[in-house]
Amino acid sequence: MLKQLTVALTAVSTMGFSALAASETVPSAIGDFDVSMTATLASDYIWRGQSQTGGSGAVQGSLDIAHESGLYIGAWASNVDDQVFTGNSGGADMEVDYYVGYGGDLTDWLSYDLSWNTYTYPQASSYNVDEWIGKLSAYGFTVGAKYAYDPSSALYSFISYEYELPYEIGLGLAYGHTDTKNAELDADEQYNDWSVTLSKTIATLDVALMYSDTDISECVANMGYTDDDDCDANLTLSVSKSF
């Protein structure tokens, strides 16, 4: 489930396991564009502390195009567990996300990012979700909120922190709170997730190791997963290559 290191670590900790991408500058008559692509192999796809691949591996990729003004568009894709996403065709085995946003600096130390995202499941369109995301970053901290408005209402608020340890090892900490309201089912759901990520660039590969967990109990009954292990603590390894 969507640049600068702060944004990349936030995405790793709270949504998926996409990595910081390298970029190539392309000049044009309307300004410079940065184009970046990333391919990722991960031992799991963790979204807000929950496995989206049933504890199995994930193959992911992204394409981002950013204008010097701060405007950007992009797409991100991953395999998912078809037993979790049981939609129109009996299950989805792929997630494809599209997003457009605008970001920049408010001061020398404070930056912002606003985006609209749509998360799609080509084989199970009933699970498609649209979401607005807003973030503020300063001194290594990022605070933000993600509001999903279609088809159900969900608010995800989060805070993260990133710091560079000795030997150029990146440290990422994240904590998030999910508050979901489903009018059709007349149901509310709230839970918290947290993660700790260590990352390092080795040769031309970006390597990350993340520990994540939630305070969800009885995962199968409450979340619709096929295995309680999907909501247990996870240790996830990813290796990415940027182009």
Q: What is the pTM of this model?
A: 0.84
Q: Report the pLDDT averaged over residues 185-204.
A: 87
What total number of domains does the chain contain?
1
Q: Report the pLDDT averaged over residues 26-51.
A: 93
What pLDDT shows up at residue 12?
40
What pLDDT shows up at residue 55?
87
What pLDDT shows up at residue 4?
34
What pLDDT shows up at residue 27?
85
For residue 23, pLDDT over 80 is answered with no
- Domain hosting 82: range is 5-242
HSE, CB side, 13 Å, CA atoms: give it for residue 191: 17
Residue 124 pLDDT grade (very low, low, confident, very high; cuts 50, 70, 90): confident
CATH number assigned to the domain comprising residue 46: 2.40.160.40
Mean pLDDT taken over the chain: 84
User: Between 13 and 148, where is the model more confident?
Assistant: 148
Q: What is the pLDDT of residues 167-186, one digit of tens each?
A: 999 999 999 999 987 655 44
